[in-house]
Structures are given as C-alpha cells and as structure tokens.
Amino acid sequence: MNASQARLSLVAKHLTTSSSPTNIVRTATAKPPTFRERNDYKYFLPIQTRWTDNDQYGHINNSIYYHYIDTVVNEYLIKYCGLDPLDKSQTKPIGLVVHSSANFYAPASYPSVMEAGLVISKLGKSSVTYRVGIFEKKSNNGNNDEHNLASVVGGFTHVFVDPKARKPVVSLPTEILAGLQPLIV
C-alpha cells in the first residue's frame, strides 16, 4: 500500500468509527440571532399606520413593511447624512438598493403606531447594509406601551454610485460616513 492509499484508509477508518452510534457526540446548536429586541437598535422613527396598510386579513400587508424600512433609512439619510432627494446637480452619490430581505414574526394592524429601529450592520467602501426592526406600539387606556420584540426584522443594502455613470463610488463621502458612524454595530 502506498502513502496515498494509507492516508485514505486512515480517513475511511476514522469516518466509520466516528460515525458509529456510540461515538456520536450531540451538541446543542445555537440559534442564529434574530435581532428582535428593542435594544438591538440605535435610532427610532415612529410611523403611523394607515387604513390602506391593512390587507384582507386585517393585518398590515407584508409589502408595506418594506415601505416602513425604506422610510426610516431615507429619513435618517436626509436628516443626518446630507441626502437631498431634490438635488438636481447630480454631484452627490445616490444609493441604489442591491439586496433586501425581511423576516416576519408577529402581525400588526391599523390603527397603531409602529416604530422603526435602525442600525448599520455592515459598512463597506461604497455600500451600507441597514438592519431595521419594526416594533408595534399599543395604546392601552391612553398609555402607550412599547413592544420590546420586533414584529418584523428586515433591511437592505445600498451601493452608493455616481448619479450619472451609475458606477460605485471609490469611497463614501465624509458627510455620509460621519452621519452613519453612530449607527454602526
């Protein structure tokens, strides 16, 4: 038996002995984080639901949550990062969504106020990945009770590009970076 065959024989022997029922070691697998807790987020925006947000089943339609996610991200970019959606100069980079996702955990319905929590989960040279938790605020006898677990957790990734050439920027402008820094986790 040559050296290669000997190594293969050892690997085969290891696989057959380590997979026998007496040698199997079961370990608990950790659940991946869901980022549902309110303290997972750094910035919050209240959003009033509308009658038209409800679907035929009496809860907020899944697609509407993407509106909420888009609202909190762009409101933050306008308020803290210098985004000007009405800027006609075409000199500042614009963010294009290249990926989006959402996980749905609990229904919510109109009338209620949702709070969209925001953090930056990844910051690249030309891209930003946002994580958003959508929390429902309940009104109980005039008191607003905050839910500490998100109904929905989602987000998206922006790639910032030159508005004319639509090519990714070499690096994010200083104003955008400075505005995003407080949200990085």
Q: What is the pLDDT of residues 22-51, one digit of tens each?
A: 555 555 677 788 899 999 999 999 999 999
Domain membership of residue 100 (yes or no) is: yes
Domain membership of residue 162 (yes or no) is: yes
Domain membership of residue 20 (yes or no) is: no
Using the predicted structure, report yes or no on whether residue 17 has a pLDDT greater than 70.
Answer: no
Average pLDDT over residues 9-28: 54
Using the predicted structure, report yes or no on whether residue 64 has a pLDDT greater than 50.
Answer: yes
Which two structure tokens, joined as six digits, stand for 4? 């290669």
CATH value at residue 62 = 3.10.129.10
List the single range of 11-20, 45-54, 101-110, 118-127 with lowest mean pLDDT.
11-20
Domain membership of residue 133 (yes or no) is: yes
Instruction: Provide the residue type at 126 as one letter.
Output: S
The span from the CA of 147 to the CA of 41, in Å, is 13
What's the total number of domains in the chain?
1
CA angle 97, 64, 152 (to 5 degrees): 85
pTM above 0.85, yes or no: no
Domain membership of residue 88 (yes or no) is: yes
CA 105 from centroid of its chain's CA atoms: 14
- pLDDT value of position 170: 97
- The residue segments making up the domain with residue 109 are 29-183
Percent share of the chain, pLDDT over 90: 73
List the single range of 12-21, 64-73, 87-96, 131-140 with lowest mean pLDDT.
12-21
Average pLDDT over residues 113-121: 97
Percent share of the chain, pLDDT over 70: 80
Classify burial at 160, counting beta carbons within 10 Å of its beta carbon; exposed 0-12, middle 13-18, buried 19 or more. Answer: buried
- pLDDT value of position 59: 94
- pLDDT value of position 19: 47
- pLDDT value of position 141: 45
Domain membership of residue 13 (yes or no) is: no
- pLDDT value of position 30: 76
Average pLDDT over residues 161-166: 95
Domain membership of residue 8 (yes or no) is: no
Domain membership of residue 108 (yes or no) is: yes
The span from the CA of 155 to the CA of 134, in Å, is 10
157 three-class SS: strand
Across the chain, what does the average pLDDT equal?
87
